[in-house]
Amino acid sequence: MILILASTSAIRARLLEAAGVPFEAHPSRLDEQAVKTALLAEDASPAAIAEALAEMKALRLSTNHPEALVLGCDQVLEFAGRLIGKSESLTEARALLLSLRGKSHSLITAAVLAKGGTPIWRKRERAELLMRDFSAEFLDAYFEAEGEGILSAVGCYHLEGRGAQLFERVEGDYFAILGLPLLPLLAVLREHGMLR
């Protein structure tokens, strides 16, 4: 049996590789923005949106690879009761970080494993992150060092790197904050005989 990661996320791939999990990565090619817009119109919660996107990604590839276990993941940021999407420019990223400065927000990570076009496992994790009250000088230096790479992350930070300096407190599963609830996933892969 093979594991397919329905994503081109570099950090998710690095986490699986570092844990010794054999897998292939394939993009799901899901129009995430259209799905989010439709779910928001139905008043879906940020957590429900993350889980729906993870499931759709897994199912999309699972139907084409019925013999494989397909892992779909998604992560959303919830701040002041609303869903925050990825920033499309450094100007948007700066505005987001300034709005998060000195306040708490949630990262909700969802993972769904599918086989033969059916979800067989799901996990959702919520982490609470308190951003410190950083200075304008720090933010300028952060943008100079990180550049457009931060646009790949929903909160415009990579906690595994320089983004750690943005925070005063982080509560939640570290791997899930990075985008993958790794330990529960390893347990279910052992149950399916993919790992010992």
In 10 A of CB 159, how many CB atoms?
20
pLDDT at 85: 87
- For the chain, what is the radius of gyration of the CA atoms? 17
pLDDT at 177: 96
Q: Is residue 30 part of a domain?
A: yes
CATH number for the domain including 92?
Answer: 3.90.950.10
Answer whether 0.75 is exceeded by the pTM. yes
Cα atoms in the Cβ-side hemisphere of radius 13 Å centred on 93? 23
Pairing of strands 104-115, 118-131: antiparallel
Q: Is residue 196 part of a domain?
A: no
pLDDT at 153: 93
Q: Which residues are catalytic?
A: 74
Q: Is residue 153 part of a domain?
A: yes
Q: Is residue 61 part of a domain?
A: yes
Look up residue 115 and give its two tokens. 């086989």
Domain that holds residue 121: 3-191
The arithmetic mean of pLDDT across residues 50-62, rounded, is: 97
Tell me how far apart the alpha carbons of residues 83 and 185 are, in angstroms, rounded to a whole number.
Answer: 25
pLDDT higher than threshold 90 for residue 110: yes
pLDDT at 35: 93
Residues 63-75 have pLDDT tens digits of 999 999 999 999 9
Residue 111: name the closest of 154, 47, 156 by CA. Answer: 47
Residues 156-195 have pLDDT tens digits of 999 999 999 999 999 999 999 999 999 999 999 999 999 9
Q: Are 72 and 112 in contact (CB under 8 A)?
A: yes
Q: Is residue 134 part of a domain?
A: yes
pLDDT higher than threshold 90 for residue 84: yes
Look up residue 190 and give its two tokens. 């052992």
Confidence of residue 1 (pLDDT cuts 50, 70, 90): confident
Q: Is residue 135 part of a domain?
A: yes
- Would you tell me the crossing angle of helices 90-100 and 136-146 to the nearest 10 degrees? 140
> Based on the structure, what is the number of domains in the chain?
1
Angle (CA) 170-171-176 rounded to 5° is 95
